[in-house]
Amino acid sequence: IKGCEAQKWDPTCSSRCPICMNNGICHEDTGECICPPGFMGKTCEKACGANTFGRTCEETCKENSGCKYYMFCLPDPYGCSCAAGWMGLECDKECKPGFYGSDCKLKCNCHSRGTCDRFKGCICSLGWHGLQCEKEGKARQCNQMVAISYHPLNSSKFKPFCIATGKPLPKSEEFKLLKQDGTVLKPSLLITSNHSEAMFTINQIQPRDTGTWVCSVQTVAGMTEKLFQVTVKVPPVPQYAPRLTDSGHNFLIIDINAGLHLGDGPVVSTKLLYKPAKRYQSWMSVEVKGTTKRLDNLEPKTEYQFCVQLSRQGEGGKGHPGPEASFTTAALGLPPPEGLILLLKSMTSLNLSWHPLTPRTEDDIHIEVERKSVNDNGPVNSVMSILKKLILREDAICFQDPEKEGRKEWMYARIFCVCLFIGIPPEPYNIKFSNTTDTSSVISWTTPEGRSISSIIIGYKIYGKAEYNHINIMIKNTTITQYHLKGLEPNTVYQVQISAQNNIGLSNPNTSSELKTLPETKALYKSKGDKMLLIAIFGSAGMTCITVLLAFLIILKLKRTNIQHRMAQAFQNVREEPTVQFNAGTFTLSRKAKSSPDPTVYPVLEWNDIKFQDVIGEGNFGQVLKARIKKDGLRMDAAIKRMKEYASKDDHRDFAGELEVLCKLGHHPNIINLLGACEHQGYLYLAIEYAPHGNLLEFLRKSRVLETDPAFAIANSTASTLSSQQLLHFAADVARGMDYLSQKQFIHQDLVARNILVGENYVAKIADFGLSRGQEIYVKKTMGRLPVRWMAIESLNYSVYTTNSDV
């Protein structure tokens, strides 16, 4: 059956077909000639010969009788026929003289002394060719594939060549390259001389492309193809990181450790990549011959990152760098100690101190102290004592890094002390007072040079008292030569004495110096005034904060009261909505009086029994959250619905109406059932069954793998992951649920796929009863929102809803 008229093809039947010879038929989708069995070529002009067939005439009938009794069926619109040279219902009769081809339907009209062959048609004499030997000259030559050229493959660009001969020479569009997965490629370049050379370009070949590829060429003179094997190699990657063999402050010796690697070999190149670890710097590389590499001219005490890159022969043979490792060069040396202080401890000993050492890495640092008399030219006294990892000799101080393996790297710091005076220190002199006020004064002094002083002691008392009321102030840093005395009494004379102290003892007291403070100022009243001003400021700020807090609490209370009022009004509106009767045939509306309804009774959930988890849905005015609830002593999953703060009065009415509908509907397996409700801080929380598979609309969309995962769809020959039985099961579930609503005389008004939820065991359940009504006939009077795209005709025209309006 053909969809296009004769000699037309493509989806619009507007393209013209080529002229297909020997009863070939044009394919209406591809525009190519479908050749009868025993013929080939672009226009089916070339005959294969006795008992041969196939698109390149490479197939033969193996029986002694040849292709007798063979029936060949080709793609539509060709159908089925006998082989060339045979006809009849069982393809067992030879062609009559003068006829040839499949089913012997073609008649030979040979010119120029040509003879008729029942398999090939006209056999032309020398110098003539054509279907009926009507063309003078040399006959067309069938194509031959001379060679296929390609190089060893890595995961990179691939450029195979196909070389073919024939008359006429093949054109670019007549070459095809078929990958192992059936993908058809066209040539990117054609070079012609006495043959045609077609080059194909694959930008990135992968290991999955390994397999048998086919290069084919088809012209009017015939068709030929050649198979070749493609093997894609994977560049090598080291399995393990490099290792450290030896190190110094400016060099590292690295073991490449690349004996085991992933991917394919042989490895023709090995590079060591490295860079400083804590600086933004590009990788540097060095070629490695052997298993180790020494890197010189590195920076001391610096961490470097290393990795190894392997390569195999051919383009794209460079592999990814292997695992990384970090190594650090050694330190160049240690700095000398700072802040050396030498103090007299006794008549025969000195006390040497220095600033705390700067924290370093995990190096174990030893400190050695050596002593040598200035006027002694003999050898250094090497008496040693060890205390808490400190090596104390007796002269100069030096640092040693033990990681140098015997190559001691010393940094010396010397201090000289000349002890001319052994005994108690002299007293300070040149005592002065400055910046004296009514309660304080700055005292300064001078100490003799070249004396051993460990601290300064200041003592003072009120003048006229029998004894000094010593208030001693000890200053251990002897470089400080002044002190600020505070807490003195106004308009009072003090006697001040300053003494020096060392390990031997305290100096003789110096002559007392007098200090008189200034009279008391009137700042007291100002201070009291400042305190009153401060109290007033804090009091005013406190009252403001209290006022703002009270206003906030009042607004919050009013807001909560307003929400509760709106909720109550919504319940009232749902119950007091008028009922209207519809009389069939007359279209008369009659209002029925309705008695005051009983309050809605629903199962109550305690607020502490609800544990909220995730938000699973959100609209303009409402929100649905997944939660774990406790009902009748059992823990279960539930969906909690609630309204947002800015929801309108109509939204609250619909929400309250949904609770009332669920209470009256009761339980059914094909509707989302009510688990309970909870009112907390003026908000109503509605707990319904949880559907783990979401709504039916999204569930069906995800099943369309032809859109979401075309590769999976093609591989499995399917457009959907759902069977017809599953789809019918969903439809039956919805029908049972709607039948139950109809029995209960409820109108849903919003039955769409997004309001059908898929629960456990893939059971469809009807949900969202926000627009439902519990009357047999309902007439819409208010201005609420309605789903007009799927409303019934009577609902659109007259705002009338019945149980039939949902279907």
- The neighbouring-strand residues paired with 540 are none
pLDDT band at 671 (very low <50, low <70, confident <90, very high): very high
Q: How far apart are CA 607 and CA 113, in angstroms?
A: 106
CB atoms within 10 A of CB 108: 22
| Each residue's pLDDT tens digit, 199-209 | 888 888 888 88
What residues form the annotated binding site for ATP? 641
The continuous run of DSSP H or E covering 432 comes out as strand 429-434
Alpha-carbon gap, residue 310 to 321, rounded angstroms: 7
For residue 230, what pLDDT is reported? 84
591 band by pLDDT with thresholds 50, 70 and 90? very low
Bind-site residues: 641
- pLDDT (tens digit, 9 = 90+) per residue, 351-363? 777 777 665 555 5
The token duo for 651 is 């939204």
The residues, any chain, with a CB within 8 Å of residue 253's CB and separated by 6 or more, are 244, 245, 246, 247, 292, 293, 294, 295
C-alpha closest to that of 364 among 406, 399, 329: 399
Residue pLDDT, tens place only, 426-473:
888 888 899 899 888 999 988 877 677 778 888 888 887 666 555 566
C-alpha span between 67 and 51 (Å, rounded) = 5
Is 768 considered catalytic here? no
C-alpha pair distances (Å), 651 with each of 663, 678, 772: 19, 18, 13
Instruction: Give the best-scoring range by mean pLDDT among 354-358, 408-412, 575-579, 662-666.
Output: 662-666
pLDDT band at 402 (very low <50, low <70, confident <90, very high): very low
Categorize the per-residue pLDDT at 729 as very low, low, confident or very high, splitting at 50, 70 and 90: very high
Backbone angles phi, psi at 397, to 5 degrees: -100, 140
Predicted confidence at residue 149, as pLDDT, reads 53
pLDDT at site 114: 86
**Catalytic annotation, pick one of 103, 651, 654, 750:** 750
At residue 345 the predicted structure's pLDDT band, cuts being 50, 70 and 90, is low
Runs of H (alpha helix) within 66-105: none
Lowest-pLDDT range of 144-148, 308-312, 430-434: 144-148
- Say whether pLDDT at 27 is over 90: no
Global confidence as pTM: 0.32
CATH class of 237-328: mainly beta
Q: Determine the 3-state secondary structure of 215 from DSSP.
A: strand
Lowest mean pLDDT among 260-274, 315-329, 373-387, 742-756: 373-387
Beta strands in 277-365 (DSSP E): 284-287, 292-295, 303-312, 325-328, 341-346, 349-353
Q: How confident is the model at residue 757 (pLDDT cuts 50, 70, 90)?
A: very high
Three-state DSSP class for 542? helix
Q: 244: pLDDT confidence band, cut at 50, 70 and 90?
A: very high
Q: What is the pLDDT of the chain when averaged over all its residues?
A: 77
Predicted pLDDT of residue 358: 65
Task: Kindly state the average pLDDT of the residues 620-646.
Answer: 88
Distance, CA of 457 to CA of 243 (rounded, Å): 63
The residue with greater pLDDT, 134 or 528, is: 134
Instruction: Tell me the per-residue pLDDT of 466-500, one tens digit each, with 9 for 90 and over.
Output: 665 555 666 666 678 888 888 888 888 888 888 88
Q: Are 309 and 318 in contact (CB under 8 A)?
A: yes
Which of left, alpha, beta for 418 (phi over 0: left; psi -120 to 50: alpha)? Answer: beta
pLDDT > 70: percent of the chain: 74
Confidence bin at 313 (pLDDT 50/70/90)? confident
* Res 310: pLDDT: 92
Identify which of 227-231, 236-240, 712-716 has the greatest average pLDDT.
236-240
Average pLDDT estimate for 565-588: 40
Choice among 109-113, 218-222, 254-258, 535-539 with the minimum mean pLDDT: 218-222
Closest by alpha carbon to 454, among 498, 411, 500? 500
pLDDT at residue 573 is higher than 50: no
In the chain, the amino acid numbered 647 is: A
307: pLDDT strictly greater than 90: yes
Q: Of residues 431 and 527, which shows the higher confidence score?
A: 431
Ranking 82-91, 135-144, 611-620 by mean pLDDT, the lowest is 135-144
CA 491 to CA 438: how far, in whole Å? 6
pLDDT tier at 195 (50, 70, 90 boundaries)?
Answer: confident
Spatial CA neighbour of 22 closest among 41, 4, 1, 50: 41
Does the fold of domain 431-516 match that of domain 237-328? yes
CATH class of the domain whose range is 1-139: mainly beta
Contact 746, 773 (CB under 8 A): yes
Cα separation of 230 and 209, whole Å?
8
- In terms of pLDDT, which residue wins out, 77 or 582? 77
Beta bridge partners of 498: 458
pLDDT at 361: 53
- Of 713 and 295, which is predicted with more confidence? 295
Lowest mean pLDDT among 326-330, 584-588, 748-752: 584-588
Distance CA 149, CA 295 (A): 44
Percent of the chain with pLDDT over 90: 17
410: left (phi over 0), alpha (psi -120 to 50) or beta: beta
> If pLDDT is split at 50, 70 and 90, which confidence band does 141 have?
low
Q: Which CATH topology does 591-806 take? A: Phosphorylase Kinase; domain 1 (3.30.200)
- pLDDT at position 771 is 53
Q: Name the DSSP class of 487.
A: S
- Does pLDDT of 597 surpass 70? no
Domain 431-516 has CATH 2.60.40.10: yes
Side-chain half-sphere CA neighbours of 468 within 13 A: 13
> What architecture is domain 142-230?
Sandwich (2.60)
83 φ, ψ (degrees, to nearest 5): -70, 165
Domain-wise residue ranges, the chain = 1-139, 142-230, 237-328, 348-413, 431-516, 591-806
- Answer for the pair 154, 314: CB distance below 8 angstroms, yes or no: yes
